[in-house]
Every structure is written in structure tokens, then in C-alpha cells.
Amino acid sequence: MAGKLCIFSQQFHHLIVITINVHDMPHIARLIIFALALTFHQSLWAQPPSRGRATELIIAGDNALQVLDLEMAIEYYSSAISLDPSFADAYMKRANAYSIAGRGVEAQADYNRAININPYIDYLYDTRAKIKILVADFKGKLVDIENFDGGPADITQDYLLLQMRSNFPMQLSQLDSLIAVDPTKSQQFAIRALLRWEGDDINGALSDANQALELNPTNAFAHNVLGLLQLGNYDYEAALASFEAALKIDDRYPAAYLNRGRAHNLMGNPLIGLKDMDRAIELDSSFALAYLSRATVQKGLGNASAAISDFDKVIAMHPDFADAYFSRGFARKMLGDYGGAIRDYDQTILLNPNEPSSYNNRGILRVLADDYAGAKKDFRMAISIEPDYPAAYHNLGMSLIMNHSRTEGCEYLQTSMNSGFMNASEEYKYFCTQ
């Protein structure tokens, strides 16, 4: 039974189609694994006509990067940029390759271009470390909230969002009652602003933050809260000003340094942001969110080893924090440590068994490790949790084709293609129409 393998000609920018025997697939599996790589970073933005070809070049670049052929990877990414200069993902990919190659100036330039094209691309490349994880600015729990109206020395930002969510209704109701009795305490308005934001009441949150500052303009905590709200609203310049106001009041406020670093990173200045995060950790060596944020920036710059070191610290402090294992698994994949990455996804799934992307990503790693049976099981599990998951259908289809189950695999590619997954139509053509 014959199929086709498509390979890019870097020189001529077109597909070379090679007829292959499906029974020889295990011997060339590494050549077509690139078809799975993009599903780690799939976006749904509207695309120009050249986007499909540019995406295929990016996949070829990812494949080259997997075997550490950095120059070839950079050439593929550069070709994608030539075809589609507005493709933020291509700049982000090339920035990563430049960084791994030690070409920091070029990496920084590409990162800035990606951010300028799409200010939200930082989220696309790390959906596990969104800004809202910085919503909390407390240590441990909201203790003695009735009398909690001190300065920033009373509070640090190391209370994970997951904890806040578990107590959110009770805390908000309690604050509403306290403020109704005595509406003069600045800190209570600032705390309620965070809780309202967590409840997606952005207007109420902004009103509370501003009220907190009206009551006490020297409340560094309230400036920091206002900055977080502005950061969440993508108003980076205003957020930066708020964090700087907090630091003028208290120049030893770790949370404000961390959040200013996040603002710098989101404005396309990750190296400046890292300095602020370093300062936050210098002031508070047990500051888990600072390590988490610094790891995220390092990973975005391609510094996987530095990212893993920081994720290790987060996990040591919060061993039940599933997202830290998820992100560390991604960083380990960047280094080619597929076994370590799989173990991290094992732990992610143990802690959060209902997250389909964890199964999908572990399935990709199992394909890379030649564990097709395990990969198929993971992709099927992802689909059982989220039946409308085009990337998982695509990956299941490709893994079946690579393991001698062409007919069944093509059925899953057809499902993925019908759902609009950008890779599936070309792959269906090359593997399933013969």
C-alpha cells in the first residue's frame, strides 16, 4: 500500500512529494513527526492566503530544531517570514532558535517583532502562566481580614490563584459586609478589587482600586492592585506606571518588582523584565510566583535549562501545583528530554485528570519516544474529555498512520479536517487519497 511523504525544498520553497510504502513507515517516522509539533502552539487567528504555506515551513523548522539543526531551522523560519511577514508565530519560533544558538541580539529583535504584531502571543506560547495568576497578593490565606488595613509590609504576593478561587464567594461576601459597616479602610477596597476581578467584574474591581487610593494615596499595595487590573486589561503603559508608583512608596516590595517585570515582558522587553524578577526573588527567596514568572520568560526566550531550574523551585514549594509540572514538561521537551517531560505530564494528569491538553501533549511526546500504543491511548483520552478537539483527532490519525493503521488514521484526519484544523487537509491528501 502506497502513501506519500511531503518534504520542503528550502531552495525552491515548494513541496517535494515522495511515494512511500506504508509498511516502511516506522523507518521514516522521524521524518513526519513534524506533523504533530505544531499542536503545542495552535492558534485560531484569521490567516492570509500565504499563512498555510508559512505554517508548513514552520513545521519543517520545528522538525529541524528537534534534531538540533539550528541553522536549518532558522532558514525554515526565515522562509516562513518571507512568505508571510505578518506571522507573529514565525518570529517567535525564529527567536527561540536564535536564542538556543546564542544569537541573543537577533532573538530579542524577533521577539519584539512578534509582540508588536500580536501583543497576546506571549499567552499563546504559554497558556499555563497567564497574567491572572498574579491576581493574588497575599501569603497563605486572607487572615484576620476584618483588621487587615496595614501597609504592604503586612502582605506579600505568594497566594496562588487556585486557593483564592476555592474561597472566593465567602471572601467577597465578608468584604462586602465589612465595607458596608466601615467604608474608610483603604486596604479592604484593594482586596475586594482583586476578588471582583477574579469574579470577572472588571469595572467593579477598578472602582474599588481607585477608591482604595482615594482613601490612602500612599498605599503601595493598592497601586500594585491597580497595576494588575491594568495589566489584565492590556493597558501596559498604565500598569507600568502603577507598579512604579508602588515602588516609589516601598522600594523593597517584591510583588511590585515582579509585576513590573511582567509588564516589561509583555511590552516586548523580557530582559528588562527578568531583572525585576531577579530583584523580587532577591528580596523574597520563597516567592513562588516570581520563580514561576521568571521560568515562563526564560522558556519564551528559549532558555529551557534556566526555566526548568525555576520550575523545580516552584514545585518544591507547591508540589500539588499541576500547571508547574505542565510548563516544566514543555521546557524538558525543548531540551529533548522526552522521558522527563512525560513524567511531568504524568504528574500533571495525576493532579488534574480532566485537562485534555495534558493528554494531547503527553501523546505527542509518546510518539517522539516511539510509544505509539501509549500515544493513541492519550489522544483518545483527550477526545473523550473534549469531543470537539481537532488537534487531538489530527494527532490520533497521524499516530495510527505511522503505526500501520492507515484506514482508521485517515478517518480521524478527516474528522480533524472537517473541524478546520489547518494541517489536516494537506496530510489527508498526501496519506489518504492514494
Q: How far apart are CA 378 and CA 100, in angstroms?
A: 30
Q: How far apart are CA 375 and CA 207, in angstroms?
A: 49
pTM over 0.85: no
CA atoms within 13 A of residue 163's CA, in its CB half-sphere: 16
Q: Residue 132 is placed in which grid cell?
A: 491572572
> 8 pairs with which residues across the strands?
15
User: Which CATH number is 33-125 given?
Assistant: 1.25.40.10
pLDDT at 50: 67
CATH class, domain 131-301, is mainly alpha
pLDDT at 93: 86
Which ranges in 21-160 belong to alpha helices (H)? 25-32, 34-37, 51-66, 70-83, 88-100, 104-117, 121-124
pLDDT digits (tens, 9 = 90+) for 325-342: 998 998 998 888 999 999
Arithmetic mean of pLDDT, 408-431: 78
- Assess whether pLDDT exceeds 90 at residue 100: no
Arithmetic mean of pLDDT, 350-358: 91
Arithmetic mean of pLDDT, 127-145: 30
Residue with cell 497578593: 137
Q: Residue 52 is placed in which grid cell?
A: 498555510
Pairing of strands 14-21, 2-9: antiparallel
Residue with cell 465578608: 174
Arithmetic mean of pLDDT, 86-103: 80
Query: Residue 121 in contact with residue 85, Cβ under 8 Å?
Result: no
- Assess whether pLDDT exceeds 60 at residue 424: yes
pLDDT at 121: 57
Arithmetic mean of pLDDT, 173-180: 77
Query: Residue 93 in contact with residue 62, Cβ under 8 Å?
Result: yes
pLDDT digits (tens, 9 = 90+) for 2-35: 333 333 333 323 332 323 333 333 433 433 333 3
Same fold, 33-125 and 131-301: yes
pLDDT at 26: 40
Arithmetic mean of pLDDT, 416-429: 74
Arithmetic mean of pLDDT, 342-358: 93
Q: How far apart are CA 195 and CA 275, in angstroms?
A: 29
Domain ranges of the chain: 33-125, 131-301
pLDDT band at 402 (very low <50, low <70, confident <90, very high): confident
Mean pLDDT, the chain, as a whole number?
75
Percent of the chain with pLDDT over 70: 73
pLDDT at 96: 78
Query: Residue 368 in contact with residue 361, Cβ under 8 Å?
Result: no
Q: How far apart are CA 434 and CA 432, in angstroms?
A: 6
Q: How far apart are CA 233 and CA 202, in angstroms?
A: 9
Arithmetic mean of pLDDT, 104-122: 71
Non-local CB neighbours of 383 within 8 Å, separated by 6+ positions: 356, 389, 392, 393, 396
pLDDT at 422: 65
Q: Residue 83 is placed in which grid cell?
A: 512568505
pLDDT at 43: 33
pLDDT band at 122 (very low <50, low <70, confident <90, very high): low
pLDDT at 239: 93
Query: Residue 360 in contact with residue 389, Cβ under 8 Å?
Result: yes
Non-local CB neighbours of 306 within 8 Å, separated by 6+ positions: 295, 298
Q: Which of 6-15, 67-76, 232-241 has the lowest mean pLDDT?
A: 6-15
Q: Strand, coil or helix: what is 158?
A: strand
- Assess whether pLDDT exceeds 80 at residue 128: no
pLDDT band at 372 (very low <50, low <70, confident <90, very high): confident
pLDDT at 44: 32
pLDDT at 343: 96
298 or 109, greater pLDDT: 298
Arithmetic mean of pLDDT, 147-162: 36
pLDDT band at 136 (very low <50, low <70, confident <90, very high): very low
Q: Which of 77-86, 168-177, 206-215, 344-353 has the lowest mean pLDDT?
A: 168-177
Q: Strand, coil or helix: what is 21?
A: strand
Q: Which of 119-133, 297-311, 405-419 has the lowest mean pLDDT?
A: 119-133
- Assess whether pLDDT exceeds 50 at residue 281: yes
pLDDT digits (tens, 9 = 90+) for 35-46: 343 344 333 334
